[in-house]
Structure 1
Amino acid sequence: MSTPTLDARARALETTAWGEKFHFFQPRNIVFWMFLWLCGTGVVKGWQMFSPLSGYFGRALLIASVVGVVSALVWGWWFRFVDRYERQPISLVITAFVWGATAAAFAIAVTANTALGSLYGKLFGQVWAQDWHAGLSAPFVEETAKGVGIVVLLALAPRLVRTATDGLLLGAFIGLGFQTSEDLLYSVAGATEGFGAHQTDGLVESIATRIYSDIISHPLFTALFCAGVIYLIGTPAQPRRIARGLALIVVPVVVHGVWDSMLAIAGGTGLLVFVIMLGDAIFALTALWIAFVWAHPREAHFVRDVLAPEVESGVLTDDEVTAAAGWRQQRQYVKAGADRAERKTRRHIIRGALDLLSDLAISKGHDSDDVLQARAEITRLRSKTAPVHVLAES
């Protein structure tokens, strides 16, 4: 039986394509072959760079690789945790990561950065190029190389890359892939300094520096840039917002440029370097927070539409649906619990509501076994404590 809320749910699921699968193999899609070509080129170039070091510097290369994998797994887990609503298929996430680690890093960025560095040296002299090359090359070359990745994903999965949040999260994985490759490059470079006479010391120092700087690095830059691309292009789920799009594209370029140029800007003054670094980091994190604030209303609107019929049927309450649609709302809802036990139950109910959202997306709104089980779990959780509305009235 059709009702306004069920119709709204169907429209939301159709618009967002939540729950749909990603099929990587698309032989009739020219972008698929472009992806394979550029990523393959990146793998070959990366191999050409690292394979000559596998002998004498083999241990350093192995340690840097292990650290890089562990770091990527930790950051990847965090990004998946932040993906609050229906998560992107893992195959699409891996595709994003591979683009950043291979095509963007080795096929495009390494070549273009080297060419620009040579050009700057010829035009302005080697001293100037040494000071400003990184800040006036990497932000434009690398952000563009990574940003192309979200366009590639749009072409490979047009129904799955729909909202600014999709741009933020997939962009983070593109940036994570790039960061993993770059960290490996810098770590090995540290080990090879001084002809490898102190490769362990150089390796440890490089790894420590990269781990520290990765807090404000490519995942953040690319998340902002790719969200900006989504706003610029527009999708069925995200109306075009040109001003927002341009702002989110320009900000990471500026932040990246300042980050890479802080020594030159500060003129070697240690205190000024720290001030610039701190200010740049605060600005970048603030921009990321604003990007999520901008993206949240669209996502929250779709969450409410999908879960609205559950309110009508008594499975969830209005407050629970509101809490499921945002981190701040969830904290407020959980904090309002009368005691620790109820706050714990409320937290589990919200998690159950999000699981129900995921199951409804996969079943396209139908009552599948997983949907029925998710509803039963919410009912079981609610029975462990007094109903929320009774507590509110008492």
Structure 2
Amino acid sequence: MSADVLDARSAALETTAWGERFHFFQPRNVVFWMFLWLCGTGVVKGWQMFSPLSGYFGRALLIASVVGVISAAVWGWWFRHVDRYERQPVALVITAFVWGATAATFAIAVPANTAVGSLYGKLFGQVWAQDWHAGLSAPFVEETAKGIGIVVLLALAPRLVRTPTDGLLLGAFIGLGFQTSEDLLYSVSGATQGFGAHQTDGLLGSIATRTYSDIISHPLFTALFCAGIIYLIGTPAQPRRIVRGLALVVIPVVVHGVWDSMIAIAGGSGAIVFVIMAGDVIFGLTALWIAFVWAHPREAHFVRDVLAPEVDTGVLTDAEVTAAAGWRQQRQYIKAGTDRADRKRRRHIVRAALDLLADLASGKGHDTDDVLDTRAEITRLRSVGAQAPS
């Protein structure tokens, strides 16, 4: 094994900080205390909003909370699944979620949106404000409130938040926290309509509306916005790309604004609302796909550098390392299997290669027990395929 290949592995692990741990308690970091203050303020303000409803509307509040927890768990599982390479520490992910659910929502967005709405009403009249307030306030206020979260995480974990993919995934969890709190607000608001005479109907209607609207909502907006901030700021793993950064910051604001204003834009026409909604969804998801396409080459480069020594020693092949570096390459590699058993074996080898990547990152490139066990598993999987009857 050449020294150059090992040096490239060490450099990749140093640059990406894959395998690093996150320590939340940082008493000497002023951002840590700012985080606690703003999140604490958010918790207090949220409590002040919901506690008066805990009596008569207690059942609606409980149901909305349970649905919110289930929805957050499902979306959170999916976001962790998308985190293909070395996953972010759970503590950092929770920190991102908490910022979105407390500080961004109740400490910043709710009072700011209220203030902007009041200003619009005084300047342009209540009718205009009712039509356009959401679309011309929330995108700017809420994306900024959530975007501050990635800057906070950069200050709390500068070695862990380095690539646009980190921005996409951590931004998704910040947005998920915001979405969870916002869904709770809207659900309880639906239950309280008509003085609570039809709590269940109002609650279920709000939950249904928020469920389908969550397909293109705050996790998507914030993922794009936070990836844009990473491009704008630049990190040791990602050189500054101003144009990409500005594009990814502006796009979610536009998509969010159109989504919140589509009834006003359509002039009340249901058909036009549907067209605008479909176009906004397609545009938002396309932007997210492009963001991952932009981020993929650097991530794949780091994966190849970390796993290249395993090719030299015969643990992995070039094709397997390439498959581990991208979803499309993985599908092509698995599809090239000779039969169903071979395709299944290839799928397991790619997963084991990603496990080896994580073990190497945790062990700083050294041959730890986990690394040796994963290598042995890859060898076993390959031998099973070789022994299979033709």
* Band of TM-score, shorter chain: over 0.9
SS at 2:28's partner residue? coil
- Equivalent position of 1:237 in the other structure: 237
User: In the alignment, which residue of structure 2 is the partner of 1:306?
Assistant: 306
CA distance in 1, matches of 2:386, 2:252: 48
Equivalent residue runs for 1:48-63 within 5 Å: 48-63=48-63
Residue in structure 2 matched with residue 341 of structure 1 by the alignment: 341
Deviation at 1:277, TM superposition (A): 0.1
2:112 equivalent to 1:112: yes
Distance 1:178 1:143 in 2: 10
Shift of 1:2: 6.4
How far does the alpha carbon of each residue in 1:134-164 deviate from its partner, in whole angstroms, 9 at most, with x for none? 0000000000000000000000000000000
Match of 2:364 in 1: 364
Query: 1:182 aligns to what?
Result: 182
Q: Which residue of 2 aligns with 1:210?
A: 210
Counterpart of 1:258? 258
Offset at 1:386? 3.0
Q: CA RMSD in A?
A: 1.1
Show the counterpart of 1:66.
66
Q: Deviation digits for residues 148-200 of structure 1, max 9, x if unmatched?
A: 00000000000000000000000000000000000000000000000000000
Which amino acid counterpart does residue 268 of structure 1 have in structure 2?
A: G
Question: Is the partner of 2:161 in helix, strand or coil?
Answer: coil
The aligned amino acid for 2:200 is: T
Secondary structure at the counterpart of residue 230 of structure 2: helix
Distance 1:387 1:214 in 2: 48
Per-residue CA shift, 1:221-264, capped at 9, x if unaligned? Answer: 00000000000000000000000000000000000000000000
Helix, strand or coil for the counterpart of 1:385? helix
**Which contiguous aligned blocks of 4+ residues in structure 1 show a shift greater than 4 angstroms?**
none
C-alpha change, 1:373 and 1:270, in structure 2 (3 Å) is same
- The match for 1:224 is 224
Partner of 2:277: 277
In structure 2, runs of 5+ residues without a counterpart are: none
Give the structure 2 partner of residue 378 of structure 1. Answer: 378
Q: Specify the alignment match of 1:142 in structure 2.
A: 142
CA distance in 1, matches of 2:295, 2:375: 28
Distance in 1 between the 2:387 and 2:56 partners? Answer: 67
Q: Distance in 1 between matches of 2:232 and 2:330?
A: 31
The count of corresponding residues between Structure 1 and Structure 2 is: 389
Partners of 2:85 and 2:282 in 1: how far apart? 27
**Cα distance between partner residues in 2 of 1:277 and 1:114:** 25
Matched AA of 2:3: T
Q: What CA deviation, in whole Å up to 9, does each residue of 1:194-221 have, x standing for no partner?
A: 0000000000000000000000000000
**What secondary structure does 1:386 align onto?**
helix
CA distance in 2, matches of 1:234, 1:111: 31
Gaps of 5+ in 1: none
Aligned to 1:127: 127
Which amino acid in 1 is paired with 2:305? D
Separation (CA, whole Å) in 1 of partners of 2:387 and 2:163: 35
Structure 2 distance, partners of 1:55, 1:207, is: 20
> What is the CA-CA distance between 1:387 and the residue it aligns to?
9.2
Distance 2:105 2:238 in 1: 29
Look up the match of 1:31.
Answer: 31
Calculate the TM-score normalised by the size of structure 2: 0.99
Among the aligned pairs, what percent are the same residue? 86
Counterpart-to-counterpart distance in 2, 1:305 and 1:387 = 31
Distance across 2 between alignment mates of 1:230 and 1:193: 42
2:324 pairs with 1:324: yes
